[in-house]
Amino acid sequence: MAEILINNLLNNAINHNLINGSISIEINQKEYLLFQNTGNHIEVNPDTLFLKYVHGGHIAKNLPE
């Protein structure tokens, strides 16, 4: 599960970055993992962060139950 999460965060950092932008990954001693890029900031509602089919705060429509 952790591999999927890290892979997803890295892919998002790459895909949503500026051309010739940079990506930084920080891991501290308290097991805190931070991915940052030079792309546009996306506002995310913490209540929907881990819900399926939510992209950029919007719930996708016409999905199978």
pLDDT confidence bin for 59, thresholds 50/70/90:
low
Residue pair 13/36 in contact by the 8 Å Cβ criterion: yes
Calculate the CA 13 to chain-centre distance.
7
**Which residue blocks in 16-51 are alpha helix, DSSP H?**
none
pTM of the model: 0.59
- What amino acid occupies position 18? L
pLDDT score of 24:
93
- Mean pLDDT of the 22-44 span: 84
pLDDT at 62 over 70: no
Is 60 exceeded by the pLDDT of residue 63? no
